[in-house]
Amino acid sequence: MSHRGHLVLLPPNRVWRTYPGGATLDRFARKPDPQDSHFAEDWIGSVTRAKNPGRDEIYEGVSQVQIAGQQHDFRALVESDADYFLGAAHVAQHGPTPLLLVKFLDSAIRLHFQCHPSPQFAQKFLDSPSGKTEAYHILGVREGVTDPYFYMGFQNPPTPEQLKHWIETQDIAALESCFEKIPVKPGDTFLIPGGFPHALGEGVFMVEIQEPTDFAVRYEFERAGFVLPEVARFMGRDIDFALSLINFNRYSRASIERDYRCRPAKRRALASNSWQEELIGPDQTPCFRVRKTYLKDRVTKAEDSFYIGIITSGVCDLHVGGTTHRLGCYDKFFCPAGLGPLTIEPQPDTEILECYPPF
């Protein structure tokens, strides 16, 4: 059966990480005993391999997807018909791979203090077209967590010499003193550019939208009893390399709120009671785009490229190619560039987060 003319459904694709979490994802999967583990993330519509030292022989990160009831390796599928899945313009500019990685992330603890390379740093020093600029779209907070937050940018910047000493001695209190908590709540969206030191707080469930790499330097070596092997700390390099990609400028909480919170703007009406908002566009970053569609009417719509859709509220029927798919909250799908118009019928109201590649 041809893969053309069908929606691509995205089953769970759990990926091992160095921190615990994922009980929320277990509940979505209706597991009888939801638990936190090192499978704290779900990589959605991914063609990116996860970099997990000690697990190099395990093929993880790349999604196994479903089309018309058949399972496919998503990387091989996209490469087999890149113009259809990604669009000829995307392939001409970026090659036969989607320049996008989307994840569910469910944190049981505060994550490691870490930093990712910017695109410019990655191109210059890592022989990669992509760094790891990312965005957080907050979906929920665990019961009992009264102060959900993340750290981003230095509010009290150290000197490189101070930071190097604190990393070498693992002075966690000193590392944490560089930050002030940035409060978050469901519905918030923040952009975290490459080069910004950061750490997500405990108990936060979110969608992470990012450039398609697994680059990270972690300057905190132990979390929840797991000690990072040396090769996983600074991407196999030394501490001076890790320091070289960190932005040491001061960013007040007010400047983070002003410059890096992504405020929705209505993009277009879709029907009398349905519309689409832009959460992240080219004014915020050239690395990816994020929109949200609110549906109270049956709508037929087409977009300007492929995208990954996540149902974030409600239930809907998606009609395409004579087939109807009923999707519920936190179900996911990939809409190929060549699919054409998609008809969505909310039951009765639906919200869909839509993640797009760069223009």
pLDDT digits 0-9 by tens, 98-114: 999 999 999 999 999 99
pLDDT at 7 over 60: yes
Please check whether residues 52 and 152 belong to one and the same domain: yes
Q: Identify whether 25 is part of a domain.
A: yes
Q: Identify whether 230 is part of a domain.
A: yes
Percent helix, strand and coil across the chain, each rounded to 5? Answer: 20, 35, 45
- Burial of 109 (C-beta count, 10 Å sphere; 0-12/13-18/19+): middle
Helices within 51-197 (DSSP H only): 74-80, 82-86, 88-94, 119-125, 160-169, 172-176
Domain boundary among 260, 284, 316: 260
List the domain range (segments joined by +) for residue 342.
265-356
Looking at residue 234, its pLDDT comes to 97
Please check whether residues 271 and 246 belong to one and the same domain: no
Helix (H) or strand (E) holding 71: strand 70-73
pLDDT at 325 over 60: yes
Looking at residue 116, its pLDDT comes to 98
Q: Identify whether 24 is part of a domain.
A: yes
106 touches 40 (CB < 8 A): yes
Instruction: Tell me the per-residue pLDDT of 241-298, one tens digit each, with 9 for 90 and over.
Output: 999 999 999 999 999 999 999 999 999 999 999 999 999 999 999 999 999 999 999 9
Please check whether residues 248 and 348 belong to one and the same domain: no
Q: Identify whether 1 is part of a domain.
A: no
CA atoms within 13 A on the CB side of 78: 27
With cut-offs at 50, 70 and 90, classify the pLDDT of residue 2. Answer: confident
CA distance 172 to 199: 13
Q: pTM of this prediction?
A: 0.97
Q: Identify whether 2 is part of a domain.
A: no
CA distance 122 to 219: 19
Domain boundary among 207, 227, 260: 260
Please check whether residues 202 and 172 belong to one and the same domain: yes
217: its two tokens:
């330097």
101 touches 41 (CB < 8 A): no
With cut-offs at 50, 70 and 90, classify the pLDDT of residue 303. Answer: very high
pLDDT at 1 over 60: no
Please provide the average confidence, as pLDDT, over all residues in the chain: 96
**Residue 313: CATH number of its domain:** 2.60.120.10
Please check whether residues 148 and 273 belong to one and the same domain: no
Instruction: Tell me the per-residue pLDDT of 88-101, one tens digit each, with 9 for 90 and over.
Output: 999 999 999 999 99
Please check whether residues 183 and 117 belong to one and the same domain: yes
Q: Give the count of domains, the chain.
A: 2
Please check whether residues 46 and 164 belong to one and the same domain: yes
Domain boundary among 210, 235, 260: 260
Please check whether residues 232 and 281 belong to one and the same domain: no
Q: Identify whether 45 is part of a domain.
A: yes
Q: Identify whether 286 is part of a domain.
A: yes
Please check whether residues 82 and 214 belong to one and the same domain: yes
* Separate counts of helices (H) and strands (E) for the chain: 9, 24
Please check whether residues 221 and 288 belong to one and the same domain: no
CA distance 338 to 68: 16
